[in-house]
Chains A and B, each alone.
Chain A
Amino acid sequence: MATDLFVVIVGCGRLGSYLANRLSRAGHGVVVIDAEEHAFGNLSPEYSGFRVEGDATELAVLKQAKVNQADLVIATTRADNINLMVAQVAKTEFGVARVLARVFEPRREAVYRCLGVETICPTAVAGEMFLKAVGGEGSA
């Protein structure tokens, strides 16, 4: 990955804080957004980015996090629809170069792809790995 990206991460839960910690440690500028202040407790002491408390579906909150200057936006809230909405807004309203969204429901992935949003689906990834594990055992 290129050095010194400006990354905005929406949602500071397990995945969001994991990404934020790792990216901040790697030297990137990171801003995390979460509606609940206590979610920032997931961040480790080495995280040196900014924290924005607010609802990421509001334009003002995204503006405050300077999404318009971001090189990368990652949406990791637990609601698929919020992730989609944030991703779309980041892409179309703010013109962010690269937008990634987490989506739990595998069936939605196709729809998101049509909308031009890059997705990662933990359910599908885990499912593949389960199948591989099962299939590997069965075939061998």
Chain B
Amino acid sequence: MREARYLRERYRTILSYTGLILALCAGLMLTPLLVLFAWPAERSQAWSFVVPAVLMGASGLVMWRWLRTKDHVVLSVQEGGVIVLLSWILVCLFSAWPFMDVTGLNFTQAVFEAVSGWTTTGLSVVDVTQAGHLILLWRSIMQLAGGAGLAIIMLSAITGPTGPALSVAEGREQLVPHVRQSAKLVMMIYSSYIGVGMVALRLAGMAWFDAVNHAFAALSTGGFSTRVQSIGHWNSVAVEAVTIPLMLLGSLNFVTAWLLLRGQFRAVRRNGEVRVMVVLVPVCAALLFLLTARGLYPTLGERVRVAVFQAVTALTTTGFSTVGYGDWNSFGWMVLIVLMLIGGGTCSTAGGIKQYRIYLLWKSLVWELRRSLLPRTAVMENAVWEADRKVFVNDTRLRQIGTFVFLYLATFAVGTAVLAAHGYGLKESLFEYASALGTVGLSVGITSASAPAGVLWAQIVGMLLGRLEFFVIFVSAAKLWQDAGRMIRRAHAG
């Protein structure tokens, strides 16, 4: 009996915070209406935003106000995970509403588009030539907010629970020794990126509307575009030259960005993620240039542009594209798939396995080799630089990373199998699922309005798992299941 009461208390708090997140997202849902000042003709679509926003806001406020408890409640990491999981699912469902209403997508497609937005993936089933400005901006705003870290930014910067439970669930580290100040800093860095990005893209030759949308999508490493051919539409060196650094910034760990801003270049240079990025981008760009782009594009300049841009867009998990991949050879596909699986930095807006984990696994390989060459009793110092301090890597850490990578690749295999089972080729399935799981958004054509529902749902699951921390999602889902079972059993018994 006491257990049931305790659980009820905990879930009251969890649901009240979830309600607050819903209410805040409802406010966000009204922001696309700002375009009505510039394009008043789209007024008729406004209701498709106002109705779900009011519904979401009202239910959120009721949940928050009604369930809020007076006592100070400390959330554990698992409970933070439950909040994150619940609010992501609910927000994605509500966000799908405008797509069903305005662009006439069915439920599966609309949810797919919403999840692709919030998880900063960028795979799309919307026909952007038909969609109005409202819908286009809404897609970009979802990516902007999703990249910032829906729950932590919403809650810790404004109000809510102390403690790092939520940031852990969304895979974020802290910049300074307090969650709230840390969230504020991240917000500040992020919004200054956005400001710079918008102006730079405008100067590079985009119209204001395109510049705003692409700045949102580049820095959140989302990759939704307002054009069918994505960045390729402009076919301009200036636009690509601006977009590449924006994507790299988006995939840069916020902690590293913070060090850069304060001029601690030494710490940045020693950072593992930076090293991985500095090695991978040029090497992969060079490989794509030599082995893939050579026969396909007429001029040298174009080959370089294509190679560099695709390497960056895949590694940063942004998913803007400048060319189609249909005519690429298998080697080019392979390089892109590997880059998409590796992904960006931890505590950034990017997805994938994350460069930090790759760096540690590489390091442990080196240590292992060196150990076998040294005398048996030799003591080794296994350390890496993390931010501005040296961290000794113990076996527990490596074991966690090993399990994570296994889980990631297993999910990748299952997802690819689902796609292949729907009759797509292995090559296409591998590419498309790597893109969904890494929240990248590059597509070879499987994702479209005509894709079967099974494929879209497999990708929806992949995108959510790829965006939130794998383990936290599994643990939270298991906890929800277990607690719900307990509460129901108690209710029956009582």
Contacts and interface: CB of A to CB of B under 8 A. Distances in A.
Interface stretch (A22-30, A89-97, A110-118, A126-134): A22-30
B174 interface: yes
Contacts of A50: 174, 177
Contact of B163 (A6, A31, A47, A52): A47
B178 A30 contact: yes
B164 A48 contact: yes
Interface string A65-98: 0000000000000000000000000000000000
Contacts, number: 49
B177 A44 contact: no
A5 B80 CA distance: 26
Contact of A48 (B72, B76, B178, B389): B178
Interface string B167-183: 00000001011111110
A116 to B, nearest CB: 27
A31 to B, nearest CB: 5
A24 B181 contact: no
A27 B74 contact: no
B77 A48 contact: no
B178 A29 contact: yes
B162 interface: yes
A48 B177 contact: yes
Contacts of B161: 46
A45 B165 contact: yes
B75 interface: yes
Interface residues of A, number: 18
B163 A49 contact: no
B264 to A, nearest CB: 12
A102 to B, nearest CB: 21
Q: Which among B75, B162, B182, B388 has the greatest number of chain A C-beta atoms within 10 A?
A: B162
Contact of A45 (B72, B74, B178): B74
B178 A49 contact: yes
Given A46-B74, A48-B174, A27 B163 contact: no
A9 B161 CA distance: 23
B5 to A, nearest CB: 21
A47 B163 CA distance: 5
B177 A45 contact: no
Interface in B49-88: 72, 74-77
Interface in A6-26: 6, 24-25
Contacts of A64: 388-389
Interface in B273-328: none
Contacts of B182: 48
Nearest to A64: B389
A4 interface: yes
Given A45-B76, A64-B389, A6 B165 contact: no
Contacts of A27: 162, 178, 180
A45 to B, nearest CB: 5
A45 B77 CA distance: 7
Nearest to B179: A48
Contacts of A45: 74-77, 163-165
B181 A29 contact: yes
B389 A24 contact: no
Contacts of B176: 29
A46 B181 contact: no
A49 B75 contact: no
A46 B76 CA distance: 8
Contact of B74 (A6, A29, A31, A44): A44
Interface string A32-74: 0000000000001111111010000000000010000000000
A25 B162 contact: yes
Nearest to A4: B181
A28 B182 CA distance: 11
Contacts of B177: 6, 24, 29-31, 48-50
B178 A28 contact: yes
B373 to A, nearest CB: 30
Nearest to B73: A46
Contacts of A46: 74-75, 161-163
A45 B165 CA distance: 7
A47 B76 CA distance: 11
A42 to B, nearest CB: 14
A12 to B, nearest CB: 14
Nearest to A53: B392
Nearest to A47: B163
Contacts of B164: 45, 48
Nearest to B167: A48
Contacts of A44: 74, 163
A31 B180 CA distance: 15
A44 B74 CA distance: 9
Nearest to A54: B389
Nearest to B156: A48
Nearest to B181: A29
Interface in B180-205: 180-182
B173 to A, nearest CB: 10
Contacts of B77: 45
20 contacts: A4-B178, A4-B181, A6-B177, A24-B177, A25-B162, A27-B178, A28-B178, A29-B177, A29-B178, A31-B177, A45-B164, A46-B74, A46-B75, A46-B162, A48-B163, A48-B164, A48-B177, A48-B182, A50-B177, A64-B389
Which 7 residue pairs of A and B lie closest in terms of their CB atoms, listed nearest first? A46-B163, A49-B177, A48-B179, A29-B177, A46-B74, A50-B177, A29-B178
Given A46-B162, A48-B177, 10 more contacts: A25-B162, A27-B180, A29-B176, A44-B74, A45-B165, A46-B161, A46-B163, A48-B178, A49-B177, A49-B178
